[in-house]
Amino acid sequence: MVQHYAGGTDVWDGGVIAGTFLGILLLGGLFISLGCFASALTRSQVVAAMISLVFGASVFLVGYFTSELPVQDTWQSQVLACFALRDRVHDFARGVVDTRPVVLLGSLTLFFLFLTLRVVESRRWK
Domain borders along the chain are: 11-125
From CA 83, how far away is CA 86, in angstroms rounded? Answer: 9
Check if the beta carbon of residue 119 is closer than 8 Å to that of residue 40. Answer: yes
pLDDT given at position 8: 58
Dihedral of CA atoms 44, 48, 51, 53 in degrees, nearest 10, equals -140
Is this model's pTM higher than 0.85 or not?
no
Q: Band the pLDDT of 9: cuts 50, 70, 90.
A: low
Per-residue pLDDT of 15-40, as tens digits, reads 788 888 998 999 999 999 999 999 99
Which one is predicted more confidently, 98 or 5?
98
Residue 61, pLDDT above cutoff 60 = yes
Please, what's the b/e burial string for 35-60 (b: 16 or more CB within 10 A of its CB; e: otherwise)?
A: bbbbbbbeeeeeebeebbeebbeebb
Per-residue pLDDT of 100-121, as tens digits, reads 889 989 999 999 999 999 999 9
